[in-house]
Structure 1
């Protein structure tokens, strides 16, 4: 029977007769959230005006090809991010999470500044590529959250915070991007023609993004703690400076309380333990199929020489290239592939939607032939597109705050993930038919589709993140695993907008404007096939439920093995 945790004055909680449960790291999650929010503001901010930016570059006179070049601009970032994602993940395992996160933010700031001054498509593509090359934060942020929150019961809450932050950024970014782009046209009384704002009409929103990113860099440097189990022991002068500043402000407490070396060593040992603790599972989907007696992790954890075991594991991982075959097990690989497919079609939707909303009806109207042949668009301006994308982000925020934790706690990450990846294809199948609705009902249909899409995406990504954490063999390789996952997702996000842009242009020319959407539906079906093959990390191979008798036998076996190997005898559980 699970006992309710009791809050201790030290900031942790305990279960009666069980090991202490760490308190939820609210302060560090807030610091990490402030760092994280900078990126969606910069990334999503270009979507409302990228269609018009391509028009102003005059790279083509064919309006149907604008979607292709807009896809290239979006893909430049993700292609570059793919090429360095694994590098940043591996580097974070060697030098720590914090320096990699700060480098990524600095790269984002440089990228948006160059993008704002871009006079042509080539410079715009180069600017986006710079941001992708220098930013490997997608996987590193995920790793940091996993290392901050080690208790399984806190995972549903923790893994929804970063999506909430992304939603906030996706509200602010499109709203600012749509409102500040081309200020000489939108606000002629404030921004006169012939000024720098006329020469670089997309500089103003990017200056705003760069300022926000700068705030994130300063915040991370001063207040973000290192979470790497080995690097966290090193001195952090930035954190010391941040604590000094907070000490001068009476109403704030220190960001990180000083700890003696003994407590730091205890924390380090706790962090180094494997991610999967089969006795600690998410509530409401515990299983009786677990057999900890057959788990080598439980046996190793029972021994009092956990530190030596971890050091031996570290050495063996280094000897075989971070234990590639042991780290990237079949469940881990399946989850990474499923994550990549998910990234492909969700990014395709995000890139296609603003183009779809900005597309004007063709001058030479093609006679429709339902159910497949028709061409049309919403013909909205950049301000309206920005407002729609911001409202989408606001809805995602509400879903993340009130729905996602309940869904994950009620159904579990695997069941939630499987249901959504199976049902995703219907969204892409129906979206292009919005233009066939009567004008009075188009916006209502759009609202329904956006609510559908946002609900799915806000549940499926935290579910996948929890699965990655639960399937990973050890914290020591988590940065590498998330780096590979981030690189895979980046590659898929890179191909998604480019391929969808080509298909959308072809569809407009041939009279099948739904071609790109229906292609995404086929990709989503493939993702469903892979997603259904991901095993349940809480189910073990032998379905015999543990009892008190075999629990005693298990403890005796662990004690005997520890004694035989030269270790001290383990204490049996009461």
Structure 2
């Protein structure tokens, strides 16, 4: 590690960022983040609303299902939207998934049964699977010198959403019980309806702005009307995504990329990091609402919302400065290993507030600080993950490759969070459990998983630090000149 660092050359400083497409993409991401974080502090309460009379110690099981079912839909939607973005461009695919998932989430909050809520969460994941294309879009509108800052900016709207969404969710949930003016039959029947209207309206406004102002980023489609490209969006929808020969070639090339160290590791590391984060934000609210006998703190939705919102300002202050600095000094690989290793350590100490202090206020401060650190380290590492994925493949395969990575990530997120919440529910039912088989267990296992991922990432090839050279461009030029194109290399890594 240190011998590599000694010979590492700093990357050049960032140059200009194309702010119009970047700001629109950030607006899209804010809507996505709000929809994600509005549900997190309300999960245990929503479970109790959907399943009246459910024992508190069983809430973890059902919260895990609600948290993981979107990724079941994403397993299907990821490759589909990835291939679609390679065919018709990134912009229409991003716009397609902007509003529909929010409407599905709205349905979850008014669902008459737990099973219907699960079905709507699955649909939300299917149509929201194109969110992975956002990182591809950012990588394509930025150059080598601006991509680190661009990826760090991509986390900022999630940080803003994390400040706003839990507070809005806590304040506007069950409004009939809190505000006399909102004590209506509709608000009593659907106690969580009001808090989800904001992301729906914001998504509709963003959709209009994106339609008129957002440029296309796909290198083969922006400003070019090649004979092989559809001339309109309607025409593209009538055509198959790929011809039979193109499907075979694309599949062969994708398998070739996944058979390389960089291609495979980028996907698996992305999946591991995402599943750790999703499991944490699933277990954390279930844990803190329990009583002291079960290791919890009996927090209300509002208090939990404030704790979860505390990490937003820290991310806003840290990400734009720290991410580019670490990348320049250490490179993408080494900085990722450092960030995820620290994430693992914080996960270990998160459930230790009760052992460290007896003062209730100090415990709340400790919870807020550890939650904040988990979110900051995750956000920094997640921005580097987007670089890994886009540096591993040529632009012609980025959409389908990132879609495939989204599917593999969805598999991890479908398994790890419900496993973690199920373990938490299991230990909560034990009589007088002791460490490690108590409420520490899921946090400790997630910490071990993070430390393992950090150690494994040190084996990423050095070539992942720079963008993939585009052999497809040379191949296209050969074909235009009537020459026999050279064999397409799977990957130079």
Structure 1 runs of 4+ aligned residues shifted over 6 Å read 1-5
Q: 1:112–1:209: 8 Å Cα contact kept in structure 2?
A: no
Indicate if the aligned counterparts of 1:316 and 1:323 stay in contact, CA closer than 8 A.
no
Q: 1:100 aligns with which of 93, 99, 102?
A: 93
1:190 aligns to 2:109 (yes or no): no
Q: Distance in 2 between matches of 1:74 and 1:2?
A: 40
2:32 to 24, 39, 47: 39
1:531 to 429, 433, 457: 457
Counterpart mapping for 1:13-162 below 5 A: 23-149=16-142, 151-162=143-154
Write the deviation string for residues 466-522 of structure 1: whole angstroms up to 9, x where unpaired. Answer: 2222232x1111112211122222222222221111011011112211121122123
Cα shift at 1:340:
0.9
Displacement of 1:222: 1.7
1:470 counterpart = 2:399 = no
Q: Would you tell me which structure has more helix in proportion to its own residues? A: 2
Per-residue deviation, 1:203: 0.6
- Count of aligned residue pairs for this structure pair: 437
Correspondence 1:297-316 to 2 at 5 A: none
TM-score (norm 2): 0.82
Is 1:325 aligned with 2:251? no
Deviates more, 1:477-486 or 1:523-532: 523-532
**Residue in 2 aligned with 1:15?**
none
User: Considering only CA atoms, is the larger Rg found in Structure 1 or Structure 2?
Assistant: 1
CA contact (8 A) 1:175 1:390 kept: yes
* 2:125 is aligned with 1:206: no
CA contact (8 A) 1:101 1:136 kept: no
1:502 pairs with 422, 425, 433, which one?
422
Tell me the equivalent position of 2:373: 452
Shift of 1:85: 0.8
Residue-by-residue CA offset, 1:107-157 (whole Å, 9 max, x unaligned) = 2132122123212212221221111111222321111111111x2111221
Distance (Å, rounded) in 1 between the aligned partners of 2:484 and 2:119: 59
Written as runs of structure 1 = structure 2, the 5 A alignment for 1:354-369 is 354-362=285-293
Q: 1:365-384 CA distances to partner (integer Å, 9 max, x unpaired)? A: xxxxxxxxxx3112111111
Query: Residue 539 of structure 1: CA displacement?
Result: 8.3
Q: CA offset at residue 60 of structure 1?
A: 4.8
Distance 1:110 1:29, change over 3 A: same
> How far 1:448 moved relative to its partner?
2.9
Secondary structure at the aligned position of 2:310 is classed as: helix
Confirm or deny: 8 A CA contact 1:434 1:442 kept in the other structure. yes
Match of 2:382 in 1: 461
Give a deviation string over 1:2-24, Cα, whole Å, max 9, x none: 9999xxxxxxxxxxxxxxx9842
Deviation by residue 1:35-55 (Cα, 9 ceiling, x = unmatched)? 121111111101122211111
C-alpha deviation, 1:26, in angstroms = 0.9
* TM-score, with structure 1 as normaliser: 0.71
The 1-side partners of 2:95 and 2:424 are apart by 37
Cα contact 1:93–1:480 (8 A) shared by 2 = yes
> Which of 311, 329, 333 pairs up with 1:392?
311
Q: Confirm or deny that 1:425 pairs with 2:344.
A: yes
1:35–1:379 distance in 2 versus 1, CA, 3 Å: same
Instruction: Provide structure 1 residue ranges, at least 5 long, that are not aligned to the other structure.
Output: 6-20, 236-260, 262-314, 363-374, 541-564, 568-574
Q: Which residue of 1 aligns with 2:167?
A: 175
